[in-house]
């Protein structure tokens, strides 16, 4: 049973960035307005995430790490909405099965908090603990008990790059939440939750990139597209960078990637690649997210219409700016 649990956990958690994503998702679900992420050695040695969300009572936290334990009701109509992305109740059970985890948590209305230490799925300690309202989850030695998995991890630098990308996407998707990412004690990313996407781009993509971004708004009956695309003269390296959110969730979509490029095609100097931050809002019933927890590749029931709308939206904003 232990082995099966570890294999299942490896399905959900591929690398340190998967832990970061799942824990940030939980903090967002807990209503946090501030999320702090500290990592060491690309997250392989240590990942610490602290939020100021609703916290958990002792009874809740002792349930939370069990498989399929979730406080988030899955209504039938939720099943085909994007809000049920990923597997339910698998994250904490997976992470605690393959790492050494310490959870410190306190609901704001309770006086005492709880500390729970779980190593490889086994509770080592439960005690009262003084802590600020909210939750902190400290994950150490990821895959310490699954050496075969651990071997597949890349260098600290590469794993940190995956974490940075994950945090950047989640921070851009949630401009109302403050995010800080710290690696080896030094800040890597910081965004104050000003609830302003442009501000978030200044903080996360840098002022030079943000200044080169053109605001875009395009709507049809079925869906709205809002966001920013870069002016063709922005030279930002050797590949395009698309930050895509569907109903506020960070996702990827080949169709939309292609559409952004196509919208740019005629305007783009050779060797220049666009940066785009696009937020799509549409009926969740029209969206299908790959059920695999690690992937966020999205499909639309009207794939072609969505792609065409993105092409037109990009062409429109570029031509409005005389390009
Ligand atoms: P899911 O998010 O799908 O419910 P998880 O395994 O990620 O499953 O979390 C299990 C449960 O633990 C959640 O439903 C929630 O009740 C609780 N939980 C996890 N993280 C937090 C947090 N940061 N703040 C408050 N509650 C949390
Ligand atoms: Mg979760």
Q: Looking at the structure, tell me whether residues 179 and 279 fall in a common domain.
A: no
Q: What ipTM is given for this predicted complex?
A: 0.99
Q: Looking at the structure, tell me whether residues 248 and 113 fall in a common domain.
A: no
Q: Which atom of ligand 1 is nearest to the CA of 27?
A: 23
Query: Domain for residue 181, yes or no?
Result: yes
Q: Among all ligands shown, which has an atom nearest to the Cα of 9?
A: 1
Q: Looking at the structure, tell me whether residues 218 and 265 fall in a common domain.
A: yes
Measuring CA to CA, which residue among 139, 170, 307, 185 is closest to residue 248? 170
Of 146, 163, 191, which residue sits at a domain end? 191
133, two tokens: 């309202």
How many angstroms separate the alpha carbon of residue 235 from the centre of ligand 1? 41
Could you tell me which residues come within 8 angstroms of residue 83 by beta carbon, excluding any fewer than 6 positions away? 247, 249, 284
Query: Domain for residue 198, yes or no?
Result: no
Partners of 276 in beta bridges? 229, 242
Pocket probe mutation, ligand 1, options 11, 19, 92, max atoms within 8 Å of Cβ: 92
Q: Looking at the structure, tell me whether residues 11 and 81 fall in a common domain.
A: yes
Q: Looking at the structure, tell me whether residues 56 and 156 fall in a common domain.
A: yes
Domain that holds residue 274: 206-320
Query: Domain for residue 244, yes or no?
Result: yes
Query: Domain for residue 285, yes or no?
Result: yes
Average pLDDT, the chain: 89
Of 168, 191, 214, which residue sits at a domain end? 191
Q: Looking at the structure, tell me whether residues 18 and 152 fall in a common domain.
A: yes
Q: Looking at the structure, tell me whether residues 10 and 147 fall in a common domain.
A: yes
Which residues make up the environment of ion ligand 2, defined by Cβ < 5 Å? 26, 91
> Is-contact 9 89, C-beta < 8 A?
no
pLDDT tens digit string along 56-104?
999 999 999 887 767 775 544 444 443 444 456 789 999 999 999 999 9
Could you tell me which residues come within 8 angstroms of residue 221 by beta carbon, excluding any fewer than 6 positions away? none
Q: What average pLDDT does the segment 139-165 reach? A: 96
How far apart (Å, rounded) are the C-alpha atoms in residues 81 and 246? 11
pLDDT tens digit string along 266-282?
777 777 788 999 999 99
Q: Looking at the structure, tell me whether residues 183 and 291 fall in a common domain.
A: no
**For residue 244, what is the domain's CATH number?**
3.30.230.10
How many angstroms separate the alpha carbon of residue 272 from the centre of ligand 2? 38
How many angstroms separate the alpha carbon of residue 314 from the centre of ligand 1? 38
Ligand 1 pocket, residues with Cβ under 6 angstroms: 22, 26-27, 29-30, 51, 53-56, 64, 69-72, 88-93, 135
Q: Which atom of ligand 1 is nearest to the CA of 91?
A: 6
Q: Looking at the structure, tell me whether residues 137 and 40 fall in a common domain.
A: yes
Query: Domain for residue 9, yes or no?
Result: yes
Q: Looking at the structure, tell me whether residues 178 and 252 fall in a common domain.
A: no
**For residue 141, what is the domain's CATH number?**
3.30.565.10
DSSP string, 135-176: EEEEEESTTTT-HHHHHT---HHHHHHHHHHHHHHHHHH-TT
Query: Domain for residue 302, yes or no?
Result: yes
Predicted model pTM = 0.92
pLDDT on residue 237 = 76
Between strands 241-246 and 275-282, the pairing is: parallel
pLDDT band at 291, cuts 50/70/90? Answer: low
> What percent of the chain lies above the pLDDT cut of 70?
91
Of 162, 191, 220, which residue sits at a domain end? 191
Q: Among all ligands shown, which has an atom nearest to the Cα of 97?
A: 1
264, two tokens: 């740019």
Domain count along the chain: 2
Buried residues in 262-273 as b, exposed as e (16+ CB within 10 A):
ebbeebbeeebb
Q: Among all ligands shown, which has an atom nearest to the Cα of 104?
A: 1
Range with the poorest average pLDDT among 11-20, 41-50, 76-85: 76-85
Q: Looking at the structure, tell me whether residues 184 and 211 fall in a common domain.
A: no
Q: Looking at the structure, tell me whether residues 160 and 286 fall in a common domain.
A: no
How far apart (Å, rounded) are the C-alpha atoms in residues 283 and 169? 22
SS (H, E, C) 47-71: EEEEECCCCCCHHHHHHHCCCCCCC
Query: Domain for residue 308, yes or no?
Result: yes
- Whose CA is closest to atom 21 on ligand 1? 26
Q: What average pLDDT does the segment 3-32 reach? A: 87
Checking if the pLDDT of 283 tops 80, the result is: yes
Q: Which atom of ligand 1 is nearest to the CA of 22?
A: 7
């Amino acid at each position: 049973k232990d082995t099966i649990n570890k294999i299942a956990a490896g399905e959900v958690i591929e690398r340190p960035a998967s832990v970061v994503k799942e824990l940030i998702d939980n903090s967002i679900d807990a209503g946090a307005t501030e999320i702090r992420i500290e990592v060491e050695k690309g997250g392989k040695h240590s990942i610490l995430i602290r939020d100021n969300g609703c916290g958990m009572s002792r009874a809740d936290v002792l349930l939370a790490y069990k498989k399929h334990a979730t406080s988030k009701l899955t209504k039938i109509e939720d099943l085909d909405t994007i809000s049920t992305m990923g597997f339910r109740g698998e994250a904490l059970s997976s992470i605690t099965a393959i790492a050494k985890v310490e959870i410190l948590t306190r609901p704001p209305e309770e006086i005492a908090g709880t500390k729970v230490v779980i190593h490889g799925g086994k509770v080592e300690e439960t005690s009262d603990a003084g802590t600020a309202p909210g939750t902190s989850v400290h994950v150490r030695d990821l895959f310490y008990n699954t050496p075969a998995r651990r071997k597949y991890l890349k260098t600290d630098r590469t794993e940190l790059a995956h974490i940075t990308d994950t945090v950047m996407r989640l921070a851009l998707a949630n401009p109302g939440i403050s995010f800080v990412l710290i690696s080896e004690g030094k800040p890597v990313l910081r965004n104050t939750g000003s609830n302003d996407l442009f501000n978030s781009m200044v903080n996360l993509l840098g002022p030079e990139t943000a200044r080169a971004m053109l605001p875009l708004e395009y709507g049809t009956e079925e869906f709205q597209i809002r966001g920013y695309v870069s002016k063709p003269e922005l030279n930002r390296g050797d590949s395009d960078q698309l930050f895509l959110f569907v109903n506020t969730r960070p996702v990827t979509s080949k169709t939309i990637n292609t559409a952004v490029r196509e919208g740019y095609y005629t305007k783009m100097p050779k060797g220049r690649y666009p940066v785009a931050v696009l937020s799509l809002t549409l009926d969740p019933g029209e969206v299908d997210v790959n059920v695999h927890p690690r992937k966020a590749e999205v499909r639309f029931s009207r794939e072609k219409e969505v792609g065409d709308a993105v092409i037109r939206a990009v062409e429109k904003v570029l031509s409005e700016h005389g390009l």
